[in-house]
């Protein structure tokens, strides 16, 4: 037998129902904030992620599914959504006619990570991207919709961390300070950080190794280096969050692993996920579009892991899907009538199932129970002769005799569940 690839899951049963419900809830809520959906391709040119996410990030260094196609072109299965949305926006020249655009996406992403609990190689993300707005109102739009989504799902044990990474004017000073701080602590750094220190000292801040974590307490903090514009932006954002009653904690350790962020970055953590796992993360990335050869376009966005979100849903309701009707057909001469009834009911908007093997009455009723039919229609030769069927309410166990004619008149549409 051939098995699936490690870290690539089949989603079915209860999980599949929760996926559907979550996706419709996301679509419903994002619509209230006027986000438009974009369905992006799963494969992109490798260069998009190398240039977009940054060559010295974990994702590009060691986690991408990259291969050459038959034409010798290097392609990558998308590890995240933002670079693709920026590519899409510029390619279709959407910016210009409208200078304020909001998109969302939901779909699978691919990263070659060590498979462990909560980490898959094919996982799903929902994300939003807001373009054209340099003001922290962009952050407010994105963060307020996120908070509303989490509250509607019922996830409450979250902490919302924010930080500012400054801009091209003030960040170099901070990087320099970081570099000198870590320069005489080389022996206390993990191998990755020894290398990162020279290329991008900011990455040392969110290193997961305990060895490096110990150093960080005394490390210089970015917020002490912000220029006036960045400081004002950050203050204004905090005021806006107060206005919407969104509670947050400032956390200078939040720097995100990606190169493209500037000013605002944030992460939403849940205690149930453990210390290192963010449920959702995002930030402002004003340079990315231009870096990818597109419009000079301020932007803000976030992405959340759907599987992680689902792992937090404590709702214990039974998600197995019910059906409206099960039709029990007894005897050869009832088949024709029975099959017609089934077709009519389905086209009237009811979910209907029947036993295609036409087993005994007992086994048909057992199947009706198993499929959680709300009502069962029993059609035997005797009923057909009398022009009726038996309608059984499976929850209350009550039976009534109904004229088949009523079905054709459309009366059944009034049956409520």
Cβ proximity to Zn ion: between 232 and 360 the closer is 232
Q: Does the footprint of Zn ion cover residue 194 (CB under 5 A)?
A: no
Cα–Cα distance, 79 to 85 (Å, whole number): 13
- Minimum CB separation from Zn ion for residue 315, in Å? 38
End-to-end CA distance of the chain: 43
Residue range at the interface with Zn ion (CB under 5 A); choices 7-15, 169-177, 312-320, 356-364:
169-177
- Minimum CB separation from Zn ion for residue 262, in Å? 8
330, containing H or E segment: strand 323-330
Cβ proximity to Zn ion: between 69 and 187 the closer is 187
Cβ proximity to Zn ion: between 121 and 196 the closer is 196
Out of 11, 94, 227, 313, name the contact with Zn ion by CB under 5 A: 227
The encoded tokens of residue 326 equal 């099960």
Cα–Cα distance, 227 to 204 (Å, whole number): 22
- Minimum CB separation from Zn ion for residue 349, in Å? 57
Q: Does the footprint of Zn ion cover residue 201 (CB under 5 A)?
A: no
Burial 202-225 (b: 16+ CB within 10 A, else e): bbbbbbeeeebeebbeebebbbeb
Site size toward Zn ion (CB under 5 A) is 11
Q: Does the footprint of Zn ion cover residue 128 (CB under 5 A)?
A: no
Residue range at the interface with Zn ion (CB under 5 A); choices 19-27, 190-198, 331-339, 365-373:
190-198
Cβ proximity to Zn ion: between 150 and 193 the closer is 193
Closest CA to 265 of 279, 273, 253: 253
Q: Does the footprint of Zn ion cover residue 202 (CB under 5 A)?
A: no
Cβ proximity to Zn ion: between 180 and 209 the closer is 209
- Minimum CB separation from Zn ion for residue 231, in Å? 8
Cα–Cα distance, 133 to 393 (Å, whole number): 56
Provide DSSP, 279-327. Answer: EEEEEE-TTHHHHTTS----EEEEEEEHHHHHHH-------SPPEEEEE
Report the residue count for the chain: 417
Q: Does the footprint of Zn ion cover residue 190 (CB under 5 A)?
A: yes
- Minimum CB separation from Zn ion for residue 215, in Å? 9
Cβ proximity to Zn ion: between 212 and 407 the closer is 212
Q: Does the footprint of Zn ion cover residue 167 (CB under 5 A)?
A: yes
Alpha carbon 82 to chain centroid, angstroms = 13
Residue range at the interface with Zn ion (CB under 5 A); choices 68-76, 183-191, 291-299, 366-374:
183-191
Q: Does the footprint of Zn ion cover residue 146 (CB under 5 A)?
A: no
Alpha carbon 93 to chain centroid, angstroms = 26
A 10 A CB-CB count for 342 gives 20
Q: Does the footprint of Zn ion cover residue 230 (CB under 5 A)?
A: yes
Query: Which residues, in sequence order, are bridge partners of residue 9?
Result: none
Q: Report yes or no: 125 and 80 within 8 Å, Cβ to Cβ.
A: yes
- Minimum CB separation from Zn ion for residue 171, in Å? 7
Residue range at the interface with Zn ion (CB under 5 A); choices 22-30, 94-102, 178-186, 192-200:
192-200
Q: Report yes or no: 75 and 67 within 8 Å, Cβ to Cβ.
A: yes
Cβ proximity to Zn ion: between 58 and 291 the closer is 58
Q: Report yes or no: 298 and 334 within 8 Å, Cβ to Cβ.
A: no
- State the chain's maximal CA–CA distance in angstroms: 95
Query: Tokens 């792992």 belong to which residue?
Result: 311
- Minimum CB separation from Zn ion for residue 209, in Å? 4
Out of 26, 77, 128, 193, name the contact with Zn ion by CB under 5 A: 193
Out of 81, 142, 166, 380, name the contact with Zn ion by CB under 5 A: 166
In 41-146, which ranges are E strands?
A: 43-45, 65-68, 74-77, 101-110, 122-131
Q: Does the footprint of Zn ion cover residue 170 (CB under 5 A)?
A: yes
Sign of the torsion formed by the C-alpha atoms of 231, 234, 237 and 241: negative
- Minimum CB separation from Zn ion for residue 61, in Å? 14
Give SS3 for 80: coil
- Minimum CB separation from Zn ion for residue 346, in Å? 59
- Minimum CB separation from Zn ion for residue 285, in Å? 15
Residue range at the interface with Zn ion (CB under 5 A); choices 23-31, 178-186, 224-232, 309-317:
224-232
Q: Does the footprint of Zn ion cover residue 209 (CB under 5 A)?
A: yes
Q: Does the footprint of Zn ion cover residue 207 (CB under 5 A)?
A: yes
380, containing H or E segment: strand 373-380
> Can you give the binding site for Zn ion, defined by CB under 5 A?
166-167, 169-170, 190, 193, 207, 209, 212, 227, 230
């Amino acid at each position: 037998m051939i098995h699936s690839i490690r870290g690539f899951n089949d989603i079915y049963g209860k999980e599949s129902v929760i996926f559907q419900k979550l996706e419709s809830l996301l679509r419903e809520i994002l619509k209230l904030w006027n986000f438009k959906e974009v369905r992006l391709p799963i494969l992109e040119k490798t260069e998009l992620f190398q240039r977009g996410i940054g060559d010295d990030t974990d994702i590009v260094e060691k986690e991408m599914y990259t291969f050459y196609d038959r034409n010798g072109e290097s392609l990558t299965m998308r590890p995240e959504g933002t670079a693709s949305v920026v590519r899409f926006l510029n390619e279709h020249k959407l910016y210009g006619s409208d200078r304020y655009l909001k998109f969302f996406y939901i779909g699978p992403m691919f990263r070659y990570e060590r498979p462990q609990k909560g980490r898959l190689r094919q996982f799903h993300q929902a994300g939003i991207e807001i373009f054209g707005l340099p003001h922290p109102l962009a952050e407010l739009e994105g963060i307020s919709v996120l908070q509303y989504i989490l509250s509607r799902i019922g996830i409450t044990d979250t902490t919302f961390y924010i930080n500012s990474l400054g801009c091209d004017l003030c960040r170099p000073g901070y990087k320099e300070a970081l570099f000198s701080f870590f320069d005489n602590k080389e022996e206390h750094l993990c191998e990755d950080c020894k290398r990162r220190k020279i290329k991008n000292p900011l990455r040392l801040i969110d290193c997961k190794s305990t060895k490096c974590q110990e150093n960080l307490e005394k490390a210089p903090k970015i917020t002490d280096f912000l220029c006036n514009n960045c400081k004002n932006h950050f203050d204004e954002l905090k005021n806006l969050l107060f206005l919407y009653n969104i509670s947050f904690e400032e956390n200078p350790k939040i720097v995100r692993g990606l190169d493209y962020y500037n000013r605002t970055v944030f992460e939403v953590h849940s205690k149930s996920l453990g210390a290192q796992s963010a449920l959702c993360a995002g930030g402002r990335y004003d340079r990315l579009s231009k870096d990818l050869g597109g419009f000079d376009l301020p932007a803000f966005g976030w992405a959340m892991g759907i599987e992680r979100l689902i792992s937090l849903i404590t709702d214990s309701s039974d998600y197995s899907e019910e059906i409206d009707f099960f039709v029990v057909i007894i005897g050869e001469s009832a088949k024709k009538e029975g099959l017609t009834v089934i077709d009519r009911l389905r086209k009237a908007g009811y979910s209907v199932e029947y036993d295609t093997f036409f087993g005994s009455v007992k086994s048909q009723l057992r199947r009706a129970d198993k499929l959680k039919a709300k009502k069962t229609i029993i059609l035997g030769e005797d009923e057909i002769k009398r022009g009726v069927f038996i309608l059984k309410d499976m929850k209350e166990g009550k039976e009534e005799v109904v004229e088949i004619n009523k079905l054709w008149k459309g009366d059944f549409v009034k049956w409520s569940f």
